[in-house]
Amino acid sequence: MTNQVTIEDTFAEAFPMRGTRLVITAADADLAGIAAGEFCGNASSVIGCDAEAGIEGPVASEDTLDGRPGMSVLVFAFDRESLEKAVTARVGQNVLTCPTTACFAGMRSELKKDRIKVGAQLRFFGDGYQFSKKLEDRRFWRIPVMDGEFLCEDVVGTVKGIGGGNLLICGRSQGEALIAARSAVAAIQLLPDVIMPFPSGIVRSGSKVGSKYKPLKASTSEKWCPSLRGQTESALLRDEQAVYEIVIDGLSERAVASAMASGLKAAAKSPGVTRISAGNYGGKLGPHHFHLHRLESGSQPAS
């Protein structure tokens, strides 16, 4: 128990994903942020989206390849092929189209099997007028557009990432639970190598695998819904009127564990929080298990 908030003796169950980082730059921070936000649109969950994506944070001009303000985004999918398809489509539709932008690899790999083609595919938009530029061992494509050129890195490295780290924050009221969830999000946003892909970083629609309607892969997790108390087997305590979930994707197990620990501690300090739990499927969904009591004590989770 932390600050009179019960931390349940349970674990969040996460699963392997393939992830990458892109750095999007532009003439000013506003345009870089807009392009990054558009890139990350409709990318909350691979249940219904081609990828899970989010803004990792701003990148200062002195730290970008072209000396302009940038935004770092992280993207995750189940495999390299799916990731390549999603990243290329999103850069083509939402970054190339935005005024003054450029797109660079935020991570690199020496192994071909760990790379995805981005500029190598988008170059064809240049209709034969595109040309490449090589700096040391990095290749970039210069694609002519109406305000000059769109500069895009040829290939981007990928790593084995983790998706589905999570916290369930239970509160006495919707308002109090929301304040706690926002506190958790704010704490996690300070950390590198992780994103929270859902809108505002908070999930109101926790789901379970499957549905009574066969076409659906997932449906509402009725045991956590306050309005269904009395109609189903509820997981809620008597004074719990709202639950918010924080879902975390990361480039490593350590990154996800650190994010969960920070979010847990921040949420537990908020008034009105009754309990912090986590979602799992008894260990059947994924091999990465983040035990809340171990996170609370500062020890690393076992997988």
Q: What is the pLDDT of residue 302?
A: 43
| Mean pLDDT, residues 90-113 taken together | 96
Query: Quick check: is 262 in a domain?
Result: yes
Pair 207, 220 in one domain: yes
Does pLDDT of 137 surpass 50? yes
Residues 135 and 102 in one domain: yes
> Distance (Å, rounded) from C-alpha 19 to C-alpha 23?
14
Domain boundary among 132, 159, 186: 159
Q: Are residues 143 and 48 in the same domain?
A: yes
Nearest to 86 by CA among 95, 75, 98: 75
Return d(Cα 76, Cα 17) in angstroms, integer: 6
20: pLDDT strictly greater than 90: yes
Per-residue pLDDT at 297: 79
Same domain, 155 and 275: no
Regarding whether 170 and 84 lie in a shared domain, the answer is no
Q: What is the pTM of this model?
A: 0.94
Is residue 87 domain-shared with residue 211, that is, in the same domain? no
| Domain assignment of residue 102, yes or no | yes
- Can you tell me the mean pLDDT for 57-81? 98
pLDDT the model gives residue 3: 63
Please name the residues in contact with 97: beta carbons below 8 A apart, sequence gap of 6 or more.
none
Which of 104, 131, 159 is at the close of a domain? 159
What is the CATH number for 233? 3.30.70.520
What is the predicted pLDDT for the residue at 17? Answer: 97
* CA distances in angstroms from 220 to 159, 207, 243, listed in the order given: 31, 5, 13
Find tokens 């530029």 and name the residue: 133
Classify residue 44: in a domain, yes or no: yes
Same-domain pairing of 155 and 173: no
Is 1 inside any structural domain?
no
CA distance 179 to 219: 26
> Of the candidates 243, 267, 278, which has an alpha carbon nearest to the alpha carbon of residue 167?
278
Shared domain for 22 and 65, answered yes or no, is: yes
Within a domain: 303: no
Q: What is the pLDDT of residues 278-293, one digit of tens each?
A: 998 877 778 999 999 9
pLDDT at 301: 47
Identify the domain boundary among 159, 186, 205. Answer: 159
HEC per residue, the chain: CECCEEECCCEEEEEEEEEEEEEEECCCHHHHHHHHHHHCCCCCCCCCCCCEEEEEEEECHHHCCCCCCEEEEEEEECCHHHHHHHHHHHHHHHCCCCCCCEEEECCCCCCHHHEEECHHHHHHHHCCCCEEEEECCEEEEEEEECCEEEEEECEEECEEEEEEEEEEEEECCHHHHHHHHHHHHHHHCCCCCEECCCHHHCECCCEEECCCCCCCCEEECHHHCHHHECCECCCCCCCCCEEEEEEEEECCHHHHHHHHHHHHHHHHCCCCEEEEECCCCCCCCCCEEEEHHHHHHCCCCCC
Do 165 and 48 lie in one domain? The reply is no
Number of structural domains in the chain = 2
Q: For residue 302, is it within any domain? A: no
215 in a structural domain = yes
Same domain flag for 220 and 187: yes
| Helix 29-39 with 80-94: angle, nearest 10 deg | 130
Residue 300 clears pLDDT 70, i.e. is over it: no
> What does the pLDDT look like over 154-167, one tens digit per residue?
999 999 999 999 99
Beta partners for residue 21, in sequence order: 74
**Residue 139 predicted with pLDDT over 50:** yes
The answer to whether 203 and 247 are in contact (CB under 8 A) is yes
Its domain, for residue 245, covers: 6-14+161-297
Q: Say if residue 184 is in the same domain as residue 126.
A: no
Mean pLDDT (the chain) is 95
Domain match, 244 and 179 both: yes
